[in-house]
Amino acid sequence: MPMTTETDAGAPVRQNWIGNGCSSLGNCSRKFIHVTGAIFVFLLIWQLAPYFGLINPIIIPVPTTILQKMIQLTLSGELLTNIAVSLGRVLVGFFIALAVALPLGFLLGGWFKSFETAVNPLLQVLGQANPFTLFPVFITLLGIGELSKISIIFWVCQWPVLFNTVSGIKNVDPAIVKMARSMGIGKWQMFRKVLLPAAMPSVFTGIRMSAVFAFFMLIGAEMIGASSGLGYMILQAQATFQMPKMWVGIVTVAFLGILFNWILLQIEKKFSGWKEELVM
């Protein structure tokens, strides 16, 4: 059974060892049924929609047609090849963004707050720049090869991580910081034992946002000067009016985005195990 403790105010707190949103196995089962039930109903309506004249199955194929095409493309190896190419671009751009934005965010939010205040307007302007309008700039500077595609993914991924990391560090409860200082904790211990754990929820929010933006920009990047990848497959299928193949690409990108976000949520739970869930 989950461990139950009490807070200083006396409110019971249950240690959530099953996962966010699931305080018991029964709750998890109900949540799973609700989620899968909603998906099943949506797919059923989609499957039956052409019979009621709601959609044109030539333009929007039904799920069974898309599934058949997906199996065909998987067996031929075309789908798996394009998935591997697209995932490679996403992961490289995403992890480079993390390698740059996380340390920079911790430094600006923790040790160089005055500098962060000075450069924040410039960072906000750069972060708000529409990445699609920057495509010509990246292509002009870096060509139409892999470097420009990875660079545009890196560009859109770094800003949510940077801004949420800075915000998470700056918004740590001052009372906790003062208490730690009164105990004689040094700067490195302050960062590792106080600031970092307290900022983790905000940091992971930025990381998950970046993952969404990465897959969002992937399609645009692969539609310009690419010869492989899911974006290229979608564009070519649309140009040759192969609607089932186009929808296979769309569904695959959506599924990969959901899977990537789920993986990040599991990692977040590992790093944010100190969070407790109030028993309602």
List, for residues 135-183, the tens digit of each pLDDT value.
888 888 888 888 888 889 999 999 999 999 888 888 877 777 778 777 7
Q: Is 15 left (phi over 0), alpha (psi -120 to 50) or beta?
A: beta
What's the pLDDT at 8? 44
19: left (phi over 0), alpha (psi -120 to 50) or beta: left
Encode pLDDT of 89-131 as tens digits: 999 999 999 999 998 888 887 777 777 778 888 888 888 888 8
pTM of the model: 0.77
Rounded-to-integer distance, Cα 19 and Cα 28, Å: 9
CATH says 65-278 is which class?
mainly alpha
Please answer whether residues 218 and 231 qualify as being in contact, where contact means their C-beta atoms are separated by less than 8 angstroms: yes
- Give CA–CA dist 242/246, Å, rounded: 6
98-203-198 Cα angle (round to 5): 135
